[in-house]
Amino acid sequence: VKQIISIIAFIFISLSISSQGSSDQLIRKGISLHDKGRYSEAIIYYQQALKANPTSMSATYEMSLTYLQMKDYNNALKYSTKVINANFRPLFVAAYCVTSSALANLNKFDDAIKLLQEGLTRCGNEYLLHYNLGLSYCKKKDNQSAIKHLQKAIEIDTTHPGAFLLYAHALNETGNWIESFLSFHFFLFLEPNTSRSKEAFGEMYSML
C-alpha cells in the first residue's frame, strides 16, 4: 500500500512540475508577442497558461497588462485585481499600477488615488506608486498634489525620465516655469533621442 501511495504521489508531483513548466513557456511566448504588439495572440497564450496552471499569478498579471495595452480596461481591472487579492508579493506593486491605470482611464480618478494610497500603506514608499499617484492627480487637474508625489518619486529614483517629464508638465501648469524648465532639462539628459524628447525640447523652446 505504501508503495502505491508513493507511486501516486510521484505521478502527481511530476504532472504538477510538467504543468508548471508548460505554463511558464506559454507565458514567455505571450510576453514575446505582447512586446511585438500582437496583443490578441498574447492573450490566447496567457489563457492557455492559465488552463495549464489556474493559480499562475504571472499569467494573470501579464493578461491584465496586455488588456491595459489593448485599452480593454474592464478586463485589465478584472485580472490585476486578482493579483492584488491573492496577495502575490512579487507582482504586488505592478498589479496596483495596472489597476490604477485602468481606473484612471475609466475616469475613476478618486478610485485610482484611493487604491494607490492603499498600495503605499501595504507596500511602502515605492517609486511607481508615487509616480502613478502623480499621474492620476494630473489627470484630475490637481497639480499641487501631483507635484508632491512626483517629487517623492524622483527622490526615490532619480534615473527614471517619465517622472521628470510629468513633473515638468505639472510645474508648468502651476506657473513654476523655471522649475519646469529644469525638470525638462533633466528629462532630456536621461532620454535625449525619442519622440517625447522632441516634444519636451519644443516646450522648453517656447518657454524661452
Over residues 118-140, the pLDDT tens digits come to 999 999 999 999 999 999 999 99
**Residue 173 CA: distances (Å) to CA of 93, 113, 165, 180:** 29, 20, 13, 9
Per-residue cell: 118? 492603499
Residue 169 has what pLDDT? 96
| Rounded Cα distance, 201 and 87, in Å | 42
Residue 70 has what pLDDT? 97
Q: Which residue stretches of the chain have pLDDT < 50?
A: 2, 6-20
| Rounded Cα distance, 202 and 35, in Å | 29
Residue 3 has what pLDDT? 55
User: By C-alpha distance, which of 89, 86, 84, 87 is closest to 100?
Assistant: 84
pTM value > 0.85: no
Residue 208 has what pLDDT? 85
Residue 75 has what pLDDT? 97
Residue 15 has what pLDDT? 43
Residue 17 has what pLDDT? 38
| Rounded Cα distance, 42 and 69, in Å | 11
